[in-house]
Each structure stands twice: as structure tokens, then as C-alpha cells.
């Protein structure tokens, strides 16, 4: 039984509200990867390929992070705060990116425009997750639509390497 037949075997790109035909998702995604695509080599412990999502910062596929991907102890991970107030209480330098507001400020400093759906629809994604030694540098962060981040990226990483992070 093919559980994804309803959406052309691509639940990231399509959904099927009627049960009769696939409909494109309202996000930019790439077609199914081919064997040559770099992301097609990256499977999590559930044998699910790394999601094909367009990075709005680069206009290209969100790349799988390079380098060692070993879980690091919690005390060695960078901190990410829910609010500017909380980030300010832990800030050691004025240019640190410690929360969504800091990222947005740097986004505009770098000359980017406001995302199409506005910032309220986005979460900031660590390309190399904090659990694997990822930093809060602008280069390691990118905005991802909240529903895509929570539905595809977070669950994929939760089962990367067989560990529930």
C-alpha cells in the first residue's frame, strides 16, 4: 500500500484535499530529488529523505549541512531565545544573533526584503541544528514558513541518526 499516492509520492510538494487530484502546496519546494541531487543521499533513521525546500535567503534548495553531525552535550550548544528581552539578558556582544528579532535585524542589514507572507508566518531554522553543533551565525540561519518547519524539517531532524533530539 502506497501511503503517499494521493500526493504523487511527494507530501512536501502536494496535498490532496478532495481525494481526486494532487494540489501544489502553497510553499516553494523542489521536484522530487534524483539520485544526482545532493539531498537525496541524506536519509534519517526512518528512511525519509531530507526535505526539498527552497531557502528564501538563497533562492536555492535548502542544503544539507556540511561537516560532523554528532550530537553534542546540551551545555555546549548555543542558546536561542524566544524573545528579545530574554536574549538581551544573555547577550555578551551587541552583534550576537540570539533570537528571531536579532535575525530579522541582520536580515535587513544584509539588504534582504521582507518575506512574502511577512515575518509572523516564519520561524528561524538552524541549517546545522544546535544539537549537532550548529551556530547562531547568519549563514547558519534561514527563515522557513512555520508550518513547513514544524511539519517537515523538525520531524526529519528528530529522527536523524536514530536519536530523538
Would you state the pLDDT for residue 12? 52
> What residues of the chain score a pLDDT lower than 70?
1-40, 162-165
Q: Cα angle at 13 between 117 and 30, to 5 degrees?
A: 85
Q: What is the pTM of this model?
A: 0.74
Strand partners, 14: 24
pLDDT of residue 21: 57
The residues, any chain, with a CB within 8 Å of residue 141's CB and separated by 6 or more, are: 97, 103, 124, 125, 126, 127
Number of domains in the chain: 1
What is the predicted pLDDT for the residue at 68?
A: 84
Residue 69 to residue 129: CA distance in whole angstroms: 9
What integer pLDDT is reported at residue 155 of this predicted model? 94
Range of the domain at 93: 5-162
pLDDT at position 37: 45
d(CA 11, CA 117): 21
How far is residue 95's CA from residue 80's CA, in Å, rounded to a whole number? 14
**pLDDT score for 18:** 55
For residue 70 the three cell numbers come to: 554528532
Amino acid at each position: 500500500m502506497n501511503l503517499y499516492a494521493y500526493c504523487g509520492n511527494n507530501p512536501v510538494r502536494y496535498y490532496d484535499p478532495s481525494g481526486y487530484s494532487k494540489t501544489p502546496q502553497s510553499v516553494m519546494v523542489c521536484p522530487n530529488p534524483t539520485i544526482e541531487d545532493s539531498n537525496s543521499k541524506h536519509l534519517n533513521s526512518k528512511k525519509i529523505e531530507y526535505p526539498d525546500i527552497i531557502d528564501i535567503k538563497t533562492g536555492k534548495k535548502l542544503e544539507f549541512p556540511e561537516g560532523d553531525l554528532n550530537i553534542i552535550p546540551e551545555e555546549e550548544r548555543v542558546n536561542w531565545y524566544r524573545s528579545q528581552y530574554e536574549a538581551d539578558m544573555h547577550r555578551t556582544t551587541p552583534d550576537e544573533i540570539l533570537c528571531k528579532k536579532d535575525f530579522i535585524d541582520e536580515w535587513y542589514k544584509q539588504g534582504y526584503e521582507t518575506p512574502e507572507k511577512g515575518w509572523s508566518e516564519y520561524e528561524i531554522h538552524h541549517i546545522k541544528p544546535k544539537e549537532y553543533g550548529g551556530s547562531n551565525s547568519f549563514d547558519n540561519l534561514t527563515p522557513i514558513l512555520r508550518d513547513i518547519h514544524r511539519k517537515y524539517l523538525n520531524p526529519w531532524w528528530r529522527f536523524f541518526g536514530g536519536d530523538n533530539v
